[in-house]
Amino acid sequence: MNLPASEIDVLMLTAGFATRTNNRNWSEATRTAINSSIDHILASHNPYPAVAVDRIWNLQKANSAAGVFFQMLGHDGDPNMLRALLKPGKVRDSMNNWAEKIQSLMRLFELEVARRPNDHEAFELLQELKNLPDVNVALDLKTKEDPPPLLTMQFKLGENDITLFSMITTVGLSNDATLEDIRMETFFPADKPTEQWFQHNIAPHL
C-alpha cells in the first residue's frame, strides 16, 4: 500500500503483532555507517547549504555552510525548517517569492501528513503552520497557469539576489521507521551570480 514504515508499525500493533521497527536490531556498525554517510554528504556539499531533517522537517544536522548562511538570513534558531520559513521574521522577509514557495511546501507537507493518519505530531504541526499570519492568504492565491519547471528559493541579502534550488535524498529501501524519516536536502546555486556569492561570502568562513 506504499505506507510509511511508521504507519505499517501501527497496523502491526493493532493486529496484535510486534512492530518491524522495534523488532529490528541494528548493529552498531550499521548505525555508524549510516551516520557517517549522512555526515559525508553534508560536509561534501560545502560551501553550499545542506541539512538533514526528520519527517516533519525538524533539523537534525547541518553542514558548516548552512550554519553560516542561516545566520546571515537571520534565522532565530527555530529547529523546525518549515516554521522558520513560514512564520513572520527575518528569514521570511528575505524571501522574494515567499507566497509562491510556501504554496508548494505546504502542498508537499499536506500530502505527507495524509500518508500518515496516525502521526498526530505531524497533523498538529500542519495546523500550526496554517494558523501562522498570512499563510492561508498565500495558500488561496491563484497559481500561475504555466509554472516554471523548477521552483527556486530566492533570497535578498543586501544588494544580492540569491537563487537556490534543492534536491532531497533519502535512505534507500528502508523498512525502518527511523531511517525512513531521515531526509537530506542539499541546496544548489541556480545561477552564476549565486554560485559566486557563495564562493566569496560563505567559503571563506568554513
User: How big is the chain, counted in residues?
Assistant: 206
Where residue 13 falls among pLDDT bands split at 50, 70, 90? very low
Q: What's the pLDDT at 15?
A: 47
Q: Is the dihedral angle over the CA atoms 43, 45, 48, 53 positive or is it negative? A: negative
- Largest Cα span, the chain: 61
Q: What's the pLDDT at 60?
A: 95
pLDDT: which is higher, 109 or 176:
109
Give the integer Cα–Cα distance in Å for 115 and 125: 15
Q: Where are the domains of the chain?
A: 5-205
| Calculated CA dihedral for residues 93, 99, 103, 108, nearest 10 degrees | -20
Q: Which three cell numbers stand for residue 74?
A: 537571520
- Look at residue 55 and tell me whether its pLDDT is greater than 50: yes
Please name the helix (run of DSSP H) or strand (run of DSSP E) that holds residue 155, with its range, or none.
Answer: strand 153-157
pLDDT: which is higher, 200 or 116:
200
Q: Encode pLDDT of 156-168 as tens digits.
A: 999 999 999 999 9
Q: What's the pLDDT at 34?
A: 87
Give the integer Cα–Cα distance in Å for 182 and 21: 14
Average pLDDT of the residues in 176-201: 91
* In contact, 75 and 67? CB cutoff 8 Å: no
CA distances from 67 to 16, 71, 167 (A): 45, 6, 18
- Mean pLDDT rounded to a whole number for the chain: 86
**What CATH code would you report for 5-205?**
3.30.450.180
Residue percentage of the chain with pLDDT more than 90? 62
Q: Encode pLDDT of 94-111 as tens digits.
A: 999 899 889 889 998 998
